[in-house]
């Protein structure tokens, strides 16, 4: 039998070095991202406190934001996050927590995320990161691509009468009298039927930069909202006189008017109808446009494969869903920006 080795002084360091040789993605995030820059945005969600007053000091806000990033990368719950931070060396190194340091519990993580949600901080974090990426000249600005992805949530088992009241913007009386039941009901999500399959949840509408595949804008809506209805909110003055690619959901006079408003070059797919089929030339042009439009699918593909299939969220209400989707888009941009920095071999730290 092999003799058990005694614990050495540098064993922890050797283990971390082994993780580094295996290309720990969290170590790469710390190497390329200046997390301290996010503090100015995160502080906006918290009131000023008097340090002379007693009580347990709060956890560092930037470290707690990194905890949320961990959650989004590995799609783990608050309780599992607490356990994994205690258990995994790579998590501790990413958060710069030693064995002697306290670890935030599940309730602390939940409260921190709620505080950011209540002050719409995730939108500001996305905008702040977008500005940093623009200053680093990572966005090519050679045109935009728009698309939407369905985000499913747990289905609601409501009666027909209850669903009818919800569609009218009313809350069933039985729910009002039972706050615990109302707390578990999602009255913001909606149904969508696509390709013969029913979905219940929301949509993540995104606009990406064609050249860099970075997300430059996003909107969150119930799943029943058509993709084209979010187009005006996705576009802005920075899109002037640039091409716009999109699938056939963005065709029609309404979308064409919005595209003309921003003086963009319309590269959206043409749509065929029952009594007005597409010509061979239109089909050929659609295939040509698809070679560019398909780049947005790479974004959703990365989220699905590298963010552990993030198309199902266990949150209730559009505010929490929008916060979670916003964080997902932030995490994608972080990884994409790092990829571009490495590809260009430029000495940049975001």
* Tens-place pLDDT, residues 103-140: 999 999 999 999 999 999 999 999 999 999 999 989 88
Q: What is the pLDDT at residue 170?
A: 80
pTM attached to this predicted model: 0.90
Position 205 in a domain: yes
Q: Note whether 85 and 200 are same-domain residues.
A: no
Cβ-proximal residues to 235 (8 Å cutoff; 6+ apart), any chain:
144, 207, 217, 244, 258, 259, 262, 264
pLDDT-derived band of residue 99, with 50, 70 and 90 as boundaries?
A: confident
Same domain, 133 and 273: yes
CATH assignment of the domain containing 325: 3.30.420.10
291 in a structural domain: yes
Query: Which of 104, 119, 134 corresponds to the end of one domain?
Result: 119
Domain co-membership, 246 together with 216: yes
| Residue 14 confidence (pLDDT) | 65
* 241 in the same domain as 108: no
- Same domain for 279 and 199? yes
Q: How confident is the model at residue 7, as a pLDDT?
A: 63
Burial class (CB in 10 A: 0-12, 13-18, 19+), 324: buried
Same domain for 274 and 135: yes
Q: Please indicate, yes or no, if residue 145 is contained in any of the structural domains.
A: yes
Is 132 found in the same domain as 87?
no
Q: Quick check: is 209 in a domain? A: yes
How far apart CA 102 and CA 120 sit, in angstroms, is: 28
Beta bridge partners of 245: 145, 267
pLDDT computed for residue 155 by the predictor: 85
Characterize the bridge pairing of strands 265-268 and 243-246. parallel
Q: For position 164, what pLDDT does the model report? A: 81
Predicted pLDDT of residue 196? 87
Is the pLDDT at 76 greater than 60? The verdict is yes
Whole-number pLDDT of residue 208 = 95
pLDDT greater than 90 at residue 217 = yes
289-338 residue pLDDT tens: 999 999 999 999 988 888 766 678 888 889 999 999 999 999 999 999 99
Task: Identify whether residues 23 and 63 lie together within a single domain.
Answer: yes
64: containing domain: 11-50+57-119
Of 45-49, 199-203, 238-242, 290-294, least confident by mean pLDDT is 45-49
| Residue 345 domain flag | no
Helix 106-118 to helix 78-87 angle, to the nearest 10 degrees?
120
Give yes or no: residues 26 and 144 share one domain. no
Segment 169-202, tens digit of pLDDT: 788 877 878 888 788 888 888 888 888 898 989 9
Mean pLDDT of 3-16: 65
- For residues 35 and 132, state if they share a domain: no
Q: What is the pLDDT of residue 6?
A: 64
Q: What is the mean pLDDT of residues 14-41?
A: 83
Is 342 domain-assigned? no
110 and 37 both lie in a single domain: yes
Percentage of the chain with pLDDT > 70? Answer: 93
Q: Which residue has the higher pLDDT, 89 or 310?
A: 89
pLDDT for res 4 = 66
Query: How many separate domains does the chain show?
Result: 2
Residue 205's CB: how many other CB atoms inside 10 A?
23
pLDDT of residue 168: 77
| Number of C-beta neighbours around residue 24 at 10 A | 17
In a domain, residue 274? The reply is yes
Looking at 119, 136, 164, the residue that finishes a domain is: 119
Of 145-149, 178-182, 187-191, 239-243, the poorest mean pLDDT is in 178-182
Name the average pLDDT for the chain.
Answer: 87
- Asked whether residue 341 is domain-assigned, the answer is no
| Residue that the structure tokens 């941009």 belong to | 333
Same-domain check for residues 103 and 243: no
The domain boundary, picked from 70, 104, 119, lies at: 119
Q: Give the pLDDT score at 1.
A: 53
The pLDDT, as a whole number, for residue 134 is: 92
């Amino acid at each position: 039998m092999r003799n058990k080795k005694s614990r050495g002084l540098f064993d922890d360091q050797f283990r971390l070095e082994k993780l580094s040789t295996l290309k720990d993605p969290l170590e790469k995030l710390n190497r390329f991202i200046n997390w301290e820059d996010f503090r100015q945005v995160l502080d906006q969600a918290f009131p000023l406190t008097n340090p002379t007053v007693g009580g347990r000091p709060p956890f560092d806000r930037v470290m707690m934001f990194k905890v949320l990033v961990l959650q989004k990368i590995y799609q783990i719950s608050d309780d599992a996050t607490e356990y994994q931070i205690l258990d995994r060396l790579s998590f501790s190194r990413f958060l710069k927590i030693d064995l002697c340091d306290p670890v935030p519990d599940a309730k602390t993580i939940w409260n921190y995320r709620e505080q950011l949600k209540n002050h719409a901080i995730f939108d500001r974090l996305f905008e702040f990161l977008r500005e940093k990426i623009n200053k680093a000249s990572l966005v090519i600005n050679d045109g935009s691509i728009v698309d939407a992805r369905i985000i499913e949530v747990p289905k609601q088992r409501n009666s027909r009468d209850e669903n009818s009241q919800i569609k009218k913007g009313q809350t069933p009386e039985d729910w009002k009298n039972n706050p615990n039941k109302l707390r578990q009901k999602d009255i913001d999500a909606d149904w969508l039927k696509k390709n013969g399959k029913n979905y219940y949840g929301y949509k993540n509408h995104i606009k990406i930069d064609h050249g860099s595949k970075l997300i430059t804008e996003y909107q969150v809506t119930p799943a029943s909202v058509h993709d084209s209805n979010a187009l005006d909110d996705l576009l802005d003055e920075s899109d002037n006189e640039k091409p716009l690619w999109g699938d056939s959901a963005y065709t029609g006079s309404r979308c064409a008017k919005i595209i003309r408003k921003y003086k963009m070059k319309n590269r959206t797919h043409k749509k065929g109808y029952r009594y007005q089929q597409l010509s061979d030339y239109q089909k050929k042009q659609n295939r040509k446009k698809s070679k560019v439009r398909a780049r947005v699918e790479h974004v959703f593909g990365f989220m699905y494969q590298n963010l552990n299939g993030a198309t199902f969220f266990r949150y209730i209400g559009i505010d929490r869903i929008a916060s979670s989707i916003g964080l997902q888009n932030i995490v994608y941009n972080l990884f994409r920006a790092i990829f571009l920095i490495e590809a260009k071999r430029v000495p940049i730290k975001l």
